[in-house]
C-alpha cells in the first residue's frame, strides 16, 4: 500500500457540496491499495503511521506521534498514488482493482480508527480535499520499502 501523509492543523473533504469528513490537528492520509496488497500491508502501514513521530514536542522537535498529541486522521482514497509515469499520460494499472481497493481502504481506515478518531472521504468519488499543511510536513510511504 502507498500513502501520502500530511501533518495538518485542519483538513476536510467535500463530495457534491457536502462535507463528508473534517478534522482539526492530525493527519491527512491519502491512501492507495496496490495490486497484490492484503490486510498485512494495511496493518503494517497503519502501525507505522500511528507510531511516526512527526508532531512537535515541547522543545519544537518532531518527537511525538499523532496518538501523543490527541490528533485525528482524515483518510482519503487516492488511486493516483499508483501512477505509472513512464509516458506523459499516467497509467494506473498498478492500483488494486476497485472492489479490492475499496475493501482494503475501508480495512485500513478501520484499523487506524482503533487508535485515533477517523473521518473519511468517499471511495471512488470526485472529492474536493482542503487542508492546512502544518510545517509543512508531507511524507511518502510505501509498504514495499517499510
Give the residue numbers marked as catalytic. Answer: 78-80
User: Is the Cβ–Cβ distance between 134 and 25 less than 8 Å?
Assistant: yes
User: Is the Cβ–Cβ distance between 11 and 136 less than 8 Å?
Assistant: no
Angle among Cα 13, 33, 18 to the nearest 5 degrees reads: 15
Which candidate, 145, 141, 144, places its Cα nearest to that of 51?
141
- DSSP 8-state code for residue 80: G
Amino acid at each position: 500500500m502507498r500513502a501520502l501523509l500530511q501533518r495538518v492543523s485542519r483538513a476536510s473533504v467535500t463530495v457534491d457540496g457536502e462535507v463528508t469528513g473534517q478534522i482539526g490537528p492530525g493527519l491527512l492520509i491519502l491512501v492507495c491499495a496496490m495490486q497484490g496488497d492484503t490486510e498485512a500491508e494495511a496493518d503494517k502501514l497503519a502501525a507505522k503511521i500511528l507510531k511516526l513521530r512527526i508532531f512537535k514536542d515541547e522543545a519544537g522537535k518532531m518527537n511525538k506521534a499523532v496518538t501523543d498529541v490527541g490528533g485525528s486522521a482524515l483518510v482519503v482514497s487516492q488511486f493516483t498514488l499508483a501512477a505509472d509515469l513512464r509516458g506523459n499520460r499516467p497509467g494506473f494499472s498498478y492500483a488494486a482493482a476497485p472492489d479490492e481497493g475499496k475493501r482494503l481502504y475501508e480495512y485500513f481506515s478501520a484499523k487506524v480508527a482503533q487508535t485515533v478518531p477517523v473521518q473519511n472521504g468517499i471511495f471512488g468519488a470526485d472529492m474536493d480535499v482542503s487542508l492546512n499543511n502544518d510545517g509543512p510536513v508531507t511524507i511518502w510511504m510505501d509498504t514495499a520499502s517499510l
